[in-house]
Amino acid sequence: MPKNHGPQVKNDKLYEDLRRDGASKEKAARIANAKAAGTLDHKGRLDSRSKDDLYAEAKEIGIEGRSKMSKGELIEAIRGR
């Protein structure tokens, strides 16, 4: 059973999984909260967004190497989260 990380972490299990995989506390919390809010499930909508918008989202969720990614690579990285 996942530990309760308080109200600031909205998905405790995902947070713990990400931490176990080596993510920082901040990155794990951002991703867990984005997943809980439903903002990581962008399957059809990403293609129509600008590269700048995709970059901003990648930055928000902590995707490494985003500055060197093409629009297609940013989409893949965001979908992979």
CB neighbours (10 Å) of residue 54? Answer: 24
* The residue to which tokens 């965001």 are assigned: 78
Q: Both 24 and 8 in a single domain? A: yes
Q: Both 36 and 53 in a single domain? A: no
Rounded distance, CA 49 to CA 58, Å? 13
DSSP letter (8 states) at residue 40? S
For residue 79, pLDDT over 90 is answered with: no
| pTM, 2 dp | 0.50
pLDDT tens-place string over residues 15-34? 888 888 888 888 888 888 88
For residue 52, pLDDT over 90 is answered with: yes
Q: Report the candidate in 80, 35, 40, 37 with the shortest Cα–Cα distance to residue 57.
A: 40
Number of structural domains, the chain?
2
Q: Both 48 and 36 in a single domain? A: no
Q: Both 36 and 48 in a single domain? A: no
Question: Range of 32's domain?
Answer: 1-41
Q: Both 64 and 77 in a single domain? A: yes
Q: What sign does the CA torsion over 61, 31, 76, 41 have? A: negative
